[in-house]
Structure 1
Amino acid sequence: MSSEADQLPRLQAVLLGDWLARIEQRFPDLLPSRSPRCLVALENEHLVAAVVVRPYNRRGSCWSVQMPEALSSTTIHSVRSIQLNLLQQALQLGSPLVRSWVVRCPAADVDRIALMRELGFQPLRSLQAWRPPESSSTPAADVDLPKGLSWQAINRRTAQLLWPIELGGSFSHLRQITDRHWLDLLDRTGPGCGVLLADDAVLAGCLQLGEGRRGDQLELLRDLAWDPRLEEALSALLQRIQRDANPSMLITALDDEPLSDGLLAEGWQRGEEQLLLGRSMWRRQASPRNLQLVRPLGQVFGRLRPGQAPLPTPSLGRR
């Protein structure tokens, strides 16, 4: 019961978001989708688990789902059956407007990944989590960037400049599932977030993850081509992110070796590998097949020579 009492304030806030999310889904053209929704599992009127889902884009066509959180250690049903039922119900929310779902899982959690695969999720992207240096002190003042570089907040201008880098880190299937627009980057800003610019060229960007309940985890993006200026600015950039946001984790692409080497050199510690999984319910629209393959010759040529008598139509029947 104490566990339920501890979770009550947070669940009340999420349930308020659930009410707002229902309004947003009723007016998708007027209100962008931002509010989360919550489902809870009850056994004998006791709260045993909860799952929170939230929009992944402003259109509301893609949502993220977190793994159900156990709120009681004593349950009649197995934890897996409770999780499975909660997730199945969550994936029905918002249908048919919600067309796809994403979830982030630790790559080593085989049970969780197996559960999501059973629900139709497929791996889309591999990520690497980094823990900040333990012995580093948060700088009290701005750390100077190399000459010619600037760190700017995410706004409509810088979001459009950062958008090609966001697209470059994902393949077409992932882009179809997430169904994002550059305006969605404006919802992923906060402390520590920004864009590293050299004039109007973006070298890197730092964003909130955009899914899950953890607001203290940031994602560091960079251009596909490694720029030597980024190597010079990386130390100052990481110190600035730590000072402004003090993130618990910094997420990068798993296969980004140059950036990984730079983080290791700055004392960041390699954490768990993560998988971004997705499930799509988009359906290819079949082209209408109302074409008439056989027409009387009179209809075919009648418009060409309307003054003539209709031509006889050949028949393939028995004579």
Structure 2
Amino acid sequence: MNEPLLCSSAPALPERYIEPIAMEGDLDLNAPPTLKIEPLAIRHLQQLQMSSEAGQLSRLQAALLGDWLARIEQRFPDLLPSRSPRCLVALEDMHLVAAVVVRPYNRRGSCWSVQVPEVLSSSTTCSVRNIQLNLLQQALQLGSPLVRSWVVRCPVADADRVALMRELGFQPLRSLQAWHPPDSCSAAVADPDLPEGLSWQAINRRTAQLLWPIELGGSFSHLRQITDRHWLDLLDRTGPGCGVLLAEDAVLAGCLQLGEGGRGDQLELLRDLAWDPRLEEALPALLKRIQRDASPSMLITALEDEPLSDVLLAEGWQRGDEQLLLGRSMWRRQTSPRNLQLVRPLGQVFSRLRPGQAPLPTPSLGRR
């Protein structure tokens, strides 16, 4: 088997690295004998129902259904877009101890997002970090050979989580700022008035194409290469509170569900690179509308966006954790298809001399 190569910094790769790694069975997990990693199954839900962690049952039931659908999507990638998550569980002496859910990051299924595994019960022989490491190693093998890259979002302050993902080959790609909504409830407030000439529209095929340049403007080329997204992927990030702020056909800002994590109560607020003065009057009304329609638990913005941060602070939003979006690309070294023939028959060598033809005149570079 060819040696895997991790691509973490170069924005463009030579042609010999363009084939995705065949991940199935490549990793040696070195898991303890008592620890076993399996895809989520019905028997695991039955075990969870009888434990103290039964509150996770409904979420894992949805993950099990998504796992079945994801297997069908990966069998027919040209017909079905990748939308469904997959789930792996860790068993210690046949006792359910942890689970990890991974989900597609784009419709093509070439990039997936992963979360740090969730501990469901205490372990007696394995450390939490060892369980998480083995679960993540196995999760990164799912989807071969279509999955070429992975992303994960981690709080900067969680040094253990960041170190775990860095150990698995993830590299920082983007810095984000989390915001928590004000305590005041605005559920009964009518639609706040936007400045004249501005409108708030739902995300559809037309507005998604208008918002797409702003989505691209917030990331550099290497991040775009890893995520491998298309404007159609924005259609999968809509929900309550999501939309586009338009000035005729120009997009000033947009609100989307986060592309990783699969939680509808976490939104991302985007704006154009150039600060439009109309945003100072439009954003307060827009934030009230988002809070009323979605009741988000968290709003994500770019870390370095100081003008947007000033508006959020003025509206009572509380600054939360700084977060990192990390990514990993997995590539396999592909041998060059060129077969250089160093030894040639003498007949082929002398045939190029063409002794039967008149010699061509050689230009002279001397003085005339």
Q: Taking structure 1 as reference, are residues 277 and 299 closer, same or farther at Cα in structure 2, changes over 3 Å only?
A: farther
**Per-residue deviation, 1:203:** 0.3
Higher RCO by CA contacts (8 Å cutoff, separation 6 or greater) = 2
1:29 aligns with 2:78: yes
The separation in 1 between residues aligned to 2:62 and 2:205, in whole angstroms, is: 29
Q: Taking structure 1 as reference, are residues 135 and 164 closer, same or farther at Cα in structure 2, changes over 3 Å only?
A: same
The separation in 2 between residues aligned to 1:301 and 1:169, in whole angstroms, is: 59
The separation in 1 between residues aligned to 2:229 and 2:350, in whole angstroms, is: 52
* RMSD of aligned alpha carbons: 2.0
1:246-285 equivalent positions in 2, closer than 5 A: 246-282=295-331
Q: Give the 4+ runs in structure 1 shifted more than 6 A.
A: none
Q: Taking structure 1 as reference, are residues 2 and 192 closer, same or farther at Cα in structure 2, changes over 3 Å only?
A: same
Alignment identity in percent? 86
Which letter does structure 2 place at the counterpart of 1:42?
L
1:65-76 equivalent positions in 2, closer than 5 A: 65-76=114-125
Gaps of 5+ in 2: 1-49, 360-368
Q: Taking structure 1 as reference, are residues 285 and 156 closer, same or farther at Cα in structure 2, changes over 3 Å only?
A: farther
- Contact 1:139/1:239, CA 8 A, preserved across alignment: no
What residue in structure 2 maps to residue 10 of structure 1?
59
The separation in 1 between residues aligned to 2:217 and 2:116, in whole angstroms, is: 28
1:93-172 equivalent positions in 2, closer than 5 A: 93-172=142-221
Per mean C-alpha deviation after superposition, the further-off stretch among 154-163 and 69-78 is 69-78
Q: Taking structure 1 as reference, are residues 77 and 223 closer, same or farther at Cα in structure 2, changes over 3 Å only?
A: same
1:218 aligns with 2:257: no
**Per-residue deviation, 1:46:** 1.3
- Contact 2:186/2:288, CA 8 A, preserved across alignment: no
Q: Taking structure 1 as reference, are residues 226 and 284 closer, same or farther at Cα in structure 2, changes over 3 Å only?
A: farther
**Per-residue deviation, 1:95:** 1.4
Gaps of 5+ in 1: 312-319
- Contact 1:132/1:268, CA 8 A, preserved across alignment: yes
Please, what TM-score do these two structures have when normalized by structure 2? 0.79
**Per-residue deviation, 1:6:** 2.6
The separation in 2 between residues aligned to 1:241 and 1:284, in whole angstroms, is: 47
The separation in 2 between residues aligned to 1:139 and 1:5, in whole angstroms, is: 34
**Per-residue deviation, 1:44:** 1.8
**Per-residue deviation, 1:137:** 3.0
- Contact 1:48/1:75, CA 8 A, preserved across alignment: no
